Structure 1
């Protein structure tokens, strides 16, 4: 960005800020009143990014890989499609795939050049969150440089002929509000207002489903794929973070109440046939409607919708084969085990799943939302291959009866954007707060620090879970304080699950599917040891297919490796023997020889099978 242009933009931004100062102060005051009532309806509180630090383990490794990748991508490459479509000089290299404009785009046969610049906002968001986690100034400078470089490219011309404007703008919105909130970017909200002005002429009057999009004139099929119903979540967040009152109004305008959230609030399952990830993501918009506007109807929609998703999930926690929900009570889901290799849109689906589960856990305080999060964590996203430097990314988990791990053929798809956002969120998904204490949701190597009453507390979690069910939590405190440490007891936990405090059995009663609340005066050096009984269990695909079962050890689905035509009985599966506790590998003895069983992250290039026909 030229110095003169930057100065002019900053001058314009200052004038905009001055002209709206009074309006924003009144909006902030109004929101403060609303946030108090929203907080009263929220049983748990999310930690700040900086409060939780991951320790050595696969989650930290994924987080570091993603930060390093996007930190080192040249700004000119990331900004190139915006400069090109704005008719400006565009130095740098084409990133290719979905990200760069291309005359080859011919959906659905050729997706090259599908959505130029679509994931820029997600990369910006992931970096901003990473800065909030680490405090790394190089990451903050990267965020500020990208915002400054993006600002002069913002023009309504960008969306002329663009197939799905709401889809890309929603990600831009998220990136800019995160740059403001988590990386302290001084330009981000002014750039957001300009970007909003640029996209509004290209948006419909309300959220449209795909049938309504199909009824409109369209150049090709891709023009019917826009996702206006996901816009409200980030519009609400923009309003909350000071972008202006119009963002709340825009959020309300694009809530898809007529054909989606309204029926869900009445407990009608309208998910079958819908695009899976985006409609789970739209449940997050419903949650923001509840948190901002106190709409109980939208809370009901989100709770019912998420329940419908879980009810047709695979044993891994994944859902939406071929990116579509199926009709319950039919053979549709079972048939995909033979017809599809695109069983779960992994980084996108995991990101959406973690978000909606966090929202619902915060509001309801119910521990079982954490059960679904850890299933998705250990059985899907931790088994995703890293994004390659050229943008080739892992996209689909495969649950076919003859499955393989493969990467997506196009560079920089949507899953390359949600992956860095998700890994930056690992820490804030692991713990929650309440006035009475801390709630431990995920059993992962990590450290969380907070102030409880008059004490500054650091809780360090040491664990090899889920390979083994043992977790130790050690407290460091500057003074003693009474509070609750609540441990999530998974719904599948066996009867031998126990808690010890400083070597002695805890008095708290343990109940599967609930929180175990340890209420006592804690002091420096106290240690909690949580031993979760993780029985082997069989999980059928659904109620109609009790003979199609997956073997799980605690939260971990075990996949048959290169099973060929060999079959296992249910009795043989439940008699599986552990080969290695460090790798989580098991063996099942069958009439035709032994079959190795592995957790999803341990699978490399082998063929595998999740469900066994018994």
Structure 2
């Protein structure tokens, strides 16, 4: 890019900032943070206990803790002309002359996930207080600092995409790993990228209208920038980050139509547009913009309206047009059904943010669907960077890994698993809200009491969970339990082994307000009737078999057609098994939850 062009960009950027300050009052920030009925716990307050969530968190933590630091920093040093020791990481992460999109994606976005690895490590330190993790975060920030210069982005196809992740990593290093240099480095990195950013958030059609050396330049995601700009501001990095957040809110082509009830998702890149809804949420949290809250609520509802029974969405990373055969065609036309670690990360964030803002429990239903039917079935990231990427819902599906090392999903996976704890519980001045039923322990101050709640469960394989209180003194407060919308009428609660006069209502919080004492125990058992979930209204006879939050997949070979009655008569293979059996004219049809599938071929939807 010539100096003249860069000056033009800076001039356009100043004009865009001035225009942003003149937005209509309905769109403009009130400059007043919005009150929220629910709040997040700190990372350190929630500890996962033995179980699959802890296993995934520990695997990711260990992998990135031991990843070579020179290799992580090498692309930044190479592209800024500095000595670059260490081995190439390869795949998307290392510069390559072979990059020829879309035919060859080797060397696609050098260094793109660095910020996410830094973020994942910073959050892991906040959880574990492991000194080696904190030290690694600090070394990476110091090592990155000399490369935070404008030259890095020369001939770089996705400057906004990569900087957004760098921003996230640096603000997390400051917030969660107490890094003293992080904000200084962030300011340098921000100065370095600004000449290469557009004047405002551009969608892909607008990007394609600009001159571009190859198609990859049209894929940049400037519309995701506001979320982390707002977070940088709220964490103390300076007012300019608030102004930058407002500048890149994609109001014209995304948030305004969504707020007006217009579904503009069809044809859009799926994960990045779900992730962008979190920018609207930050506009609400920081600036009090009801307009952006409405946009986020409507947008996420449109996502839920075209989700698979698993909670996944976006086949071929693209949203489908409603009332078409788009989802049905994907079952035979692609094996790339849901971009799993990235999609799960974005989904958890927007559902958690909307739950905080609205207090509504049903956002947690969508989170647990994603948890048990997608991400807990993802294979671990291999030391060479080969990563599970897509969940496959094809009618002849198989689990497979992505062919390129260190893709985008290798960055979101460690962030997501570090967030499992803060997604499991929320709080209010009146008490605690139990969102996910996972082995875990949460500690907090309730009134004058020091409180802890320990959850022991094999849910969802078992239909019950036990919550045990530890209090240093008795205290009155509320414990709210999410009752999923699928819960049957036999769902019940015991307190200290005795039936309580409580009436759980599906799709709501069951709020138990009482004076609690040390060693009180809550036992919650769910009625989990088998049910059938159609693909969509156009295909009522194409159904998935569900039990509670879990989708059951037919292991091939499976009959071409099977009756609804037969599916609803499925029986467990044994009392403790995750396998289910469906009677057919021949051998019983074996059905499994997604995490239990390894190399088998399988099918999510059955023709009835």
TM-score (norm 2): 0.94
1:61 and 2:55 equivalent? yes
Equivalent residue, structure 1, for 2:356: 362
Which residue of 1 is the match for residue 516 of structure 2? 522
Aligned residue among 282, 287, 312 for 1:318? 312
**1:129 aligned partner:** 123
**C-alpha contact (below 8 Å) 1:567/1:590 kept by paired residues:** no
Q: Deviations over 1:446-499 (max 9, x none)?
A: 000001011001100000100011100001110000011100000000000000
My pick for the range that moved more, 170-179 or 509-518, is: 509-518
**1:449 maps to which residue?**
443
1:533 partner SS: coil
Distance in 2 (CA, whole Å) between partners of 1:167 and 1:305 is 21
**3-state SS of 1:38 partner:** coil
**3-state DSSP of counterpart to 1:580:** coil
Aligned partners of 2:33, 2:481: CA distance in 1, in Å?
A: 25
Q: State whether residues 283 and 356 of structure 1, in contact with CA within 8 Å, keep that contact through their aligned partners in structure 2.
A: yes
Equivalent of 1:147 in 136, 141, 150: 141
Alignment-derived partner of residue 415 in structure 2: 421
Q: Retained in 1: the 8 A contact 2:582–2:588?
A: yes
Q: Are the structure 2 counterparts of residues 146 and 274 from structure 1 closer, same or farther at C-alpha, using a change threshold of 3 Å?
A: same
Which residue pairs with 2:5 in the alignment?
none
1:432 maps to what in 2? 426
Cα distance in 1, alignment partners of residues 363 and 134 from structure 2: 33
Residue 169 of structure 1 corresponds to 163
Measure, in 2, the Cα distance between the counterparts of 1:484 and 1:507: 15
CA displacement at 1:503 relative to structure 2: 1.2
What is the aligned partner in structure 2 of residue 109 from structure 1?
Answer: 103
Distance 1:475 1:35, change over 3 A: farther
Question: Does the aligned pair in 1 maintain the 2:492–2:503 contact within 8 Å?
Answer: no
Contact 1:493–1:554 at 8 Å: present in 2 too?
yes
Unaligned runs of 5+ in 1: 1-33
CA–CA distance in structure 1, aligned partners of residues 30 and 84 of structure 2: 43
Is 1:498–1:530's contact at 8 Å kept on the other side of the alignment?
yes
Mapped partners of 2:33, 2:124: distance in 1 = 27
Partner of 2:264: 270
Change (3 A) 1:114 1:583: farther
- What do the CA deviations read for 1:549-588 (whole angstroms, capped 9, x no partner)? 0000100000001134443111100000001343411000
**Does residue 478 of the first structure (1) align with residue 472 of the second (2)?**
yes
Q: How does 1:284-433 map to 2 (within 5 A)?
A: 284-433=278-427
Separation of aligned partners in 2, 1:350 and 1:397: 11
User: Take 2:584 and 2:192, find their aligned partners in 1: how far apart are those partners?
Assistant: 63
| Gapped regions of structure 2 (runs ≥ 5) | 1-28
Q: Which moved more, 1:576-585 or 1:505-514?
A: 576-585
Query: 1:237 matched to which residue of 2?
Result: 231
Alignment-derived partner of residue 206 in structure 1: 200
Q: How far, CA to CA, are the matches of 2:31 and 2:93 in structure 1?
A: 41
Q: Deviations over 1:155-181 (max 9, x none)?
A: 100000000100000000000000000
**Which residue of 1 is the match for residue 7 of structure 2?**
none
User: Which residue matches 1:532?
Assistant: 526
Q: Residue 481 of structure 2 aligns to a residue in which SS? A: strand
Find the residue that maps to 1:593 and give its secondary structure.
coil
Offset, 1:504: 1.3
* 8 A Cα contact 1:280 1:306, kept in partner: yes
CA distance in 1, matches of 2:518, 2:31: 33
Query: Structure 2: how far apart are the matches of 1:220 and 1:78?
Result: 26
RMSD of the TM alignment (CA)?
1.1
Q: Which residue of 1 aligns with 2:33?
A: 38
SS in 1 for 2:33: helix
Q: Moved runs in structure 1, 4+ residues, more than 6 A?
A: none
Query: Does structure 1 conserve the Cα–Cα contact (< 8 Å) formed by 2:226 and 2:279?
Result: yes
C-alpha distance in structure 1 between counterparts of 2:361 and 2:32, whole Å: 23
Q: Quote the residue 2:16 is aligned against.
A: none
**Does structure 1 conserve the Cα–Cα contact (< 8 Å) formed by 2:34 and 2:284?**
no
